[in-house]
Amino acid sequence: MSAAKIRLLGKLTAAATCAAAWLAISPAALAVPSFARQTGMACEACHTVFPELTHFGRVFKANGYTLTNVKQVRDVTGKKEELLGISQFPPLSIMAQISYTEMKTPVPDLAAVGAPGVAQNGTAGFPQQFSFFYAGKIAPNLGAMFQLTYANDSGTIGIDNSDIRFADELTLPDRGTFTYGLSLNNNPTVQDLWNSTPAWGFPYALSNANVTPLAATAISGPYAQDVAGLTAYVYWNESLYVEAGGYRSAKQGVTNELTGAAGPLDGTASNVLQGLAPYWRIAYEYNWDRHSLEVGAYGLDLKVLPGGSPSAPSPLIGPYNEFDDVAEDLQYQFVGDQHLLSVLATHIHEAQTLNAAFASGAAANPRDTLTTDEVALTYYYRRKIGGTVQYFSTTGTTDAGLYPTTPAGAPGVITSANGSPDTRGWVAELNYLPWLNVKVSAQYTWYSKFNGGGTDYDGVGRNASGNNTLYLLLWFAY
Amino acid sequence: MARLTMWLGGAAVLIACGSAAWADEPDATTRLYAEHLALTVCGICHGTAGNSVQPKFPRLAGQNANYLAAQLKAFRAQSRGDPDAIAYMWGMASQLDDATIDALASYYAAQRAEPSATGTSAQASRGREIYLHGVAPQGVPACSSCHGPDAHGLAEFPRLAGQHAQYVLKQLASFQSNMRNVAIMHGVAQNLNLADMDAVAAFLETQP
């Protein structure tokens, strides 16, 4: 690796609290046939097409994944209090994503920077991702969606999106229902019931062999599987949903330098949350005929201590960076037997107070903003063939610290010539499902702007459109 | 005419059987359990009082208890084979015992049915004609002879008043194709064309 590249990566690491961490994120995925085995109901009960949830799927999730229609091994007290209720067979599933990625313009080969050499264009992921799930009931009011994933970029198995829930339901005198519960999860919005929030939003699968922009809001995934949250929620008449809770750092593969134990976290860990990061969510869903409309808002306020690494520790004290995200979302669904239509939209505004990054020089400004807008339109015919078109846009304050220019002699690509995070474009995806648990996709991503520019965005000649990506995917779960 | 006579004969036998197999009265514990199930599970699709919003899911309020019990048992036995029954109800009914089925049936039978649509139309008027008088040239008997003049159902024959038109239409198509294998209704539906089915469904949806 060249010295310039090393310097650049060092700078990006320092600024990782703001943006770069999302480069390592695996796309979320939820399509779990063990739920179907547990309920005895076909995928279509809970999904329009996986992983988008129907109203029934949302209620099933809110009720803690506990609805079961299979024989139980049970134990009860003399007063018929349930001591045990487990399925005779555990709710296990597997999922695989096998992919092929090709970019419009190959990226430079780091082994030959400045020379005509480029990296091989066309990456086969076999598998890109392979997951193992425990997804279903644990006890009468306790259930979980627990995912372990092998990913080809890390080459290791690690914890993926997980959500453990306690839930119970009261019936009201007017024959209404009142569900209340707790969710213990590792990714803000993974517990959410709608597909208009980040964790389960479109695109449901993404290449991990292309170039991703520098900027992403904190609630959109940079802290996925890096935090643990406990939230409490109520769901009144399957319409009004209110949730609140908090997240703390829950690092994987990080140890205390002194004791060698899994904790407590010290200055050799990076991007450590200070205290509890509050999360909130409110949503209202109205269903009529074959239509369903949800409008809502959600937010997360993270205070992040930059920390360091084993080779360059930095105490977990002093100034921190704060990412205060407030978002609105909307979801519309038409679920017919022949035609299915969905609109998913969200607007996320992030106020960044970068006391730590500004003091260290990793950010050029003490305060920045970042705004993300996404609107996706999906259509399916008989749940067999369909597609999605999505517009996405991220805009924000120009900050040459967070979105650095290309150092002399470096290859660019993941830099910004003008220090702007602005990125926008479209995703178009075609899907064919020969069976409800098998999806074949062709996805194309167009960038009209990338890291602040349309042409020569990195200052060394790369255009935004050079990062356009063709992504072919075979995705199945069993 | 011969077909009509045969059909009426079959209907009479079914009514007689239905009367003999009238559901038992559930005990209080089972009734409470069934009510909880109806509100928290069945209600997600069918509405807590059985007046479902989505036309994919039938309205159950005011439905004949015997018909409901028979359908739940058919789902449990996996003998009712229309697509939605397979996808949703085979699993849902698989662990229900007879007492709970009877209690669920009683719960829905006791709910107040609300029409799923209002108003009149030329199509609904045509549907009313078919419902009350049949389509003699095609050998289609009057629906009312089994389902009652007010479409509230009789004995084993289901209430149709207020049912979602889309649901009625899908069932008629399922009878016609024998995916839902009911000999009497197959006999009726195989002679109904799509426009007639649409008309009957449109009429029934508006009935109180």
Cβ within 8 Å, pair A40-B90:
yes
Q: Which of A67, A82, A175 to probe by mutation at the B interface, max B CB count within 10 Å? A: A175
CATH class, range B24-109: mainly alpha
**Minimum mean pLDDT among A165-174, A418-427, B16-25, B90-99: which range?**
B16-25
Q: What integer is the mean pLDDT of A435-461? A: 97
Cβ within 8 Å, pair A55-B44:
yes
Rounded to the nearest angstrom, the minimum Cα separation between A344 and chain B is: 21
With respect to CATH, is domain B2-12+116-205 assigned 1.10.760.10? yes
- Quick: pLDDT tens for B84-103: 999 999 999 999 999 999 99
Indicate the pLDDT class of residue A113, thresholds 50, 70 and 90: low
Output A12 or A307, whichever has higher pLDDT: A307
Q: What integer is the mean pLDDT of A430-436? A: 97
* Residue A422, pLDDT above cutoff 80: yes
Interface contacts (A, B; CB < 8 Å) = 60
Q: Please report the ipTM that was assigned to this predicted complex.
A: 0.87
Q: Which of B33, B54, B90, B116 to probe by mutation at the A interface, max A CB count within 10 Å? A: B54
Q: What integer is the mean pLDDT of B126-139? A: 94
What pTM did the predictor assign? Answer: 0.92
Nearest CA in chain B to A291: B54
Q: What integer is the mean pLDDT of B150-172? A: 95
Residues of B in contact with A58 (CB under 8 A): none
Residues of B in contact with A39 (CB under 8 A): 91-92
Mean pLDDT score of chain B, rounded to an integer? 88
* Residue A5, pLDDT above cutoff 90: no
Q: Which of B40, B51, B111 to probe by mutation at the A interface, max A CB count within 10 Å? A: B40
Q: What integer is the mean pLDDT of A239-243? A: 98
- Residue A119, phi then psi, degrees to nearest 5: -65, 155
- Quick: pLDDT tens for A336-372: 999 999 999 999 999 999 999 999 999 999 999 999 9
| Common-topology check for domains B2-12+116-205 and B24-109 | yes
Indicate the pLDDT class of residue A38, thresholds 50, 70 and 90: very high
Nearest CA in chain A to B52: A289
Rounded to the nearest angstrom, the minimum Cα separation between B141 and chain A is: 29
Supply the pLDDT for residue A30: 58
**Minimum mean pLDDT among A5-9, A104-108, A148-152, B47-51: which range?**
A5-9
Rounded to the nearest angstrom, the minimum Cα separation between A70 and chain B is: 7
Rounded to the nearest angstrom, the minimum Cα separation between A242 and chain B is: 19
Indicate the pLDDT class of residue B24, thresholds 50, 70 and 90: low
Output A71 or B120, whichever has higher pLDDT: A71
Rounded to the nearest angstrom, the minimum Cα separation between A170 and chain B is: 8
Residues 69-128 in B contacting A (C-alpha not used; CB under 8 Å)? 86-88, 90-95
Residues of B in contact with A176 (CB under 8 A): 48
Rounded to the nearest angstrom, the minimum Cα separation between A380 and chain B is: 17
CB-nearest partner of B87 from A41, A289, A290: A41
- Quick: pLDDT tens for B180-201: 999 999 999 999 999 999 999 9
* Residue A27, pLDDT above cutoff 80: no
Supply the pLDDT for residue B2: 42
Residues of A in contact with B85 (CB under 8 A): none
Output A375 or B13, whichever has higher pLDDT: A375
Residues of A in contact with B92 (CB under 8 A): 39-41, 69
Supply the pLDDT for residue B21: 41
Cβ within 8 Å, pair B94-A69:
yes
CB-nearest partner of A41 from B43, B88, B95: B88
- Residue B165, phi then psi, degrees to nearest 5: -60, -40
**In this prediction, what percent of chain B has a pLDDT beyond 90?**
81
Nearest CA in chain A to B44: A56
Boundaries of every domain in chain B? 2-12+116-205, 24-109
- Quick: pLDDT tens for A144-203: 999 999 999 999 999 999 999 999 999 999 889 999 999 999 999 999 999 999 999 999
HEC sequence for chain A: CCHHHHHHHHHHHHCCCCCHHHHHCCCCCCCCHHHHHHHCCCHHHHECCCCCECHHHHHHHHCCCCCCCCCEEEEECCCCCEEEEEECCCCEEEEEEEEEEEECCCCECHHHCCCCCECCCCEEEEEEEEEEEEEEEEECCEEEEEEEEEECCCCEEEECCCEEEEEEEEECCCCCEEEEEEEEECCCCCCCCCCCCHHHCCCCCCCCCCCCCCCCCHHHCCCCCCEEEEEEEEEECCCEEEEEEEEEECCCCCCCCCCCCCCCCCCCCEEEECCCEEEEEEEEEEEECCEEEEEEEEEEEEEEEEECCCCCCCCCCCCCEEEEEEEEEEEEEEECCCEEEEEEEEEEEEEEEEHHHHHHCCCCCCEEEEEEEEEEEEEEECCCEEEEEEEEEEEECCCCCCCCCCCCCCCCCCCCCCCCCCEEEEEEEEEEEEECCEEEEEEEEEEEEECCECCCCCCCCCCHHHHCEEEEEEEEEC
Mean pLDDT score of chain A, rounded to an integer? 92
Indicate the pLDDT class of residue A112, thresholds 50, 70 and 90: confident
Supply the pLDDT for residue A114: 63
Structural domains in chain A, sorted by start? 3-477 (2.40.160.10)
Supply the pLDDT for residue A418: 97
Rounded to the nearest angstrom, the minimum Cα separation between B199 and chain A is: 19
